């Protein structure tokens, strides 16, 4: 209590001393502000300045984190392309030769083509497409959050700039009043005390303008950093706060729209679809698979004996044989049917489903008190604006 009284007494004493000192000055010695352009003109431009929508578009095009997230979408698209490719065939070439060196030798070439039975390829494509969907929804959610942050920061900077503009107008009006009173003091029609009181008020407003200008600079710097604009690039704002809540929907309409269009809820749905696709892939990999094989073999074989040919002459027993080979290789799911993977992915699907339902319930059934209060205030503000 004593400390507060001392501070108040000291402030009053400083004002009195200022007035006393100003009273000793002649009108010619009193400070007069030269005409100058309003400080707010450096931050507001209602003709070619940047609007809130333009700031959001600039941020979406230049934000580094969004650029990295969009690269993840490109990676996911490449993985979808990879998943659509069919399995490569295999080619084996073998050769044999008799040891010690002899005439017996053989050459064999065979090829194998995996069939990917049981829906393996379709399941692989479905998983890749669901992963792409998740990445796209995540980027859309990041864009939504960034747009909201940019609009909030833009509104804060615009409010501070408009406050600075109002302060400039107040300073201009007080300066005109001060000049008028100073002229009356020169003529002796007004006591100097009134002029000194106006001077104190004028200096107070100028001090407020310095603080307001610093706040505008900080807000614009934060806005530049958020949208990805270089600090040295000039930035002027354009817009006002009129007619912002004229078309405010009801809570029910806003909730229904949020459940239908909000990207963060769509991320949960996409993750649920991804978990279901992975379960289908695990089941497909646990089914029977097969590969077809085909080949050709040329075998040169001989024996260390002699036989008679059709002319009755002796000649070595030797001939070249040609073989055509074909067959099917089966992958039998007897011991490993991906039981563990199926169970793990089923539990993951249950978790994602429960999370999605809980998120929906929180939006549809239990809007927070803060949301209700905001809606009531905005609705009240809208009704007041609409009254004649």
3-state DSSP of 160-220: HHHHHHHHHHHHHHHHHHHHHHHHHHHHCCCCHHHHHHHHHHHHHHHHHHHHHHHHHHHHH
Task: Please give the Cα distance from 281 to 6 (Å, whole number).
Answer: 79
Model confidence at 86, in pLDDT bands (50, 70, 90)? Answer: very high
Q: Is residue 269 part of a domain?
A: yes
Residue 90: predicted pLDDT: 94
Q: What is the mean pLDDT of residues 362-373?
A: 53
The residue ranking higher by pLDDT, 334 or 62, is 62
- For the stretch 37-75, pLDDT in tens is 556 678 888 888 888 889 999 999 988 888 888 999 999
Q: What is the pTM of this model?
A: 0.67
Q: Give me the count of residues in the chain.
A: 388
Q: What is the pLDDT of residues 163-185, one digit of tens each?
A: 888 888 888 888 888 888 888 88
The residue-averaged pLDDT of 201-223 equals 88
Residues with Cβ < 8 Å from 153, sequence gap 6 or more?
Answer: 219, 222, 223, 226
289 cis-preceded (ω within 30 degrees of 0): no
How many domains are contained in the chain? Answer: 1
Contacts of the segment 210-216: beta carbons below 8 A, 24+ positions apart: 212/160, 212/163, 212/164, 212/167, 213/39, 213/164, 215/160, 216/43, 216/157, 216/160, 216/161, 216/164
In a domain, 365, yes or no: yes
* Domain-located, residue 90: no
What integer is the mean pLDDT of 343-372?
60
Question: How does residue 383 score in pLDDT terms, banded at 50, 70 and 90?
Answer: low
pLDDT in tens, 225-244: 988 888 888 888 888 877 66
What are the angstrom distances between the C-alpha of 108 and each of 105, 203, 287, 295, 318? 10, 101, 32, 7, 19
Average of per-residue pLDDT across 113-128: 92
What does the pLDDT average to over 97-105? Answer: 80
In a domain, 257, yes or no: yes
- Which residues, including other chains, have CB under 8 Å from residue 279's CB and lie 6 or more apart? 342, 345, 346, 349
With a cut of 50, say whether residue 2 has pLDDT above it. no
Mean pLDDT, residues 95-101 taken together = 83
Domain span including residue 261: 242-280+347-388
User: In this structure, is residue 380 part of a structural domain?
Assistant: yes
Judge whether 63 lies within some domain.
no
* Mean pLDDT (whole number) for 216-225: 91
Residue, of 22 and 168, whose pLDDT is higher: 168
User: Which ranges in the chain belong to alpha helices (H)?
Assistant: 2-23, 52-62, 64-84, 120-187, 192-227, 251-261, 263-285, 339-364, 369-386
Percent of the chain with pLDDT over 90: 25
Q: Average pLDDT of 97-102?
A: 79
Mean model confidence pLDDT for the chain: 78
Could you read off the pLDDT of 121-164 as tens digits, one per residue?
A: 999 999 999 999 999 999 999 999 999 999 999 999 998 888 88
pLDDT band at 26 (very low <50, low <70, confident <90, very high): very low
Quick: pLDDT tens for 276-286: 898 888 888 88
16-30: average pLDDT:
45
Residue 141 lies in a domain: no
Residue 273 belongs to a domain: yes
Using DSSP's 3-state secondary structure scheme, residue 298 falls into: strand
């Amino acid at each position: 209590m004593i400390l507060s009284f001392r501070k108040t007494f000291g402030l009053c004493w400083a004002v009195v001393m200022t007035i006393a000192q100003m009273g000793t000055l002649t009108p010619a010695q009193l400070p007069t502000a030269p005409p100058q352009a309003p400080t707010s003109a450096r931050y507001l431009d209602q003709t070619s300045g940047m609007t809130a929508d333009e700031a959001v578009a600039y941020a979406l095009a230049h934000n580094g984190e969004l650029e990295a997230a969009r690269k993840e979408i490109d990676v996911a698209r490449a993985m979808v392309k990879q998943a659509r490719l069919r399995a490569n065939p295999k080619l084996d070439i073998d050769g044999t030769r008799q040891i010690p060196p002899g005439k017996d030798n053989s050459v064999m070439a065979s090829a194998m083509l995996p069939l990917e039975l049981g829906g393996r390829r379709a399941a692989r494509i479905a998983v890749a497409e669901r992963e792409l969907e998740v990445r796209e929804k995540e980027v859309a959610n990041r864009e939504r959050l960034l747009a909201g942050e940019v609009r909030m920061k833009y509104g804060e900077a615009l409010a501070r700039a408009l406050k600075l503009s109002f302060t400039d107008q107040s300073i201009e009006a007080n300066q005109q009043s001060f000049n008028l009173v100073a002229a009356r003091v020169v003529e002796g029609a007004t006591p100097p005390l009134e002029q000194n009181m106006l001077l104190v008020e004028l200096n107070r407003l100028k001090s407020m303008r310095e603080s307001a200008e610093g706040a505008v600079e900080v807000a614009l710097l934060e806005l530049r950093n958020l949208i990805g604009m270089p600090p040295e690039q000039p930035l002027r704002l354009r817009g006002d706060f009129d007619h912002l809540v004229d078309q405010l929907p009801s809570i029910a309409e806003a909730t229904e729209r949020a459940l239908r269009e909000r990207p963060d809820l769509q991320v949960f749905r996409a993750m649920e679809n991804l978990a279901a696709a992975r379960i289908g892939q695990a089941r497909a990999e646990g089914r029977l698979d097969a590969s077809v094989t085909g080949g050709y073999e040329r075998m040169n074989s001989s024996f260390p004996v002699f036989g008679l040919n059709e002319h009755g002459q002796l000649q070595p027993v030797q001939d070249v044989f040609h073989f055509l080979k074909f067959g099917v290789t089966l992958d039998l799911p007897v011991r490993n049917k991906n039981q563990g993977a199926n169970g793990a992915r089923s539990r993951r699907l249950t978790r994602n489903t429960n999370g999605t339902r809980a998120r929906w319930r929180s939006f549809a059934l239990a809007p927070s008190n803060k949301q209700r209060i905001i809606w009531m205030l905005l609705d009240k503000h809208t009704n007041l604006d609409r009254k004649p």
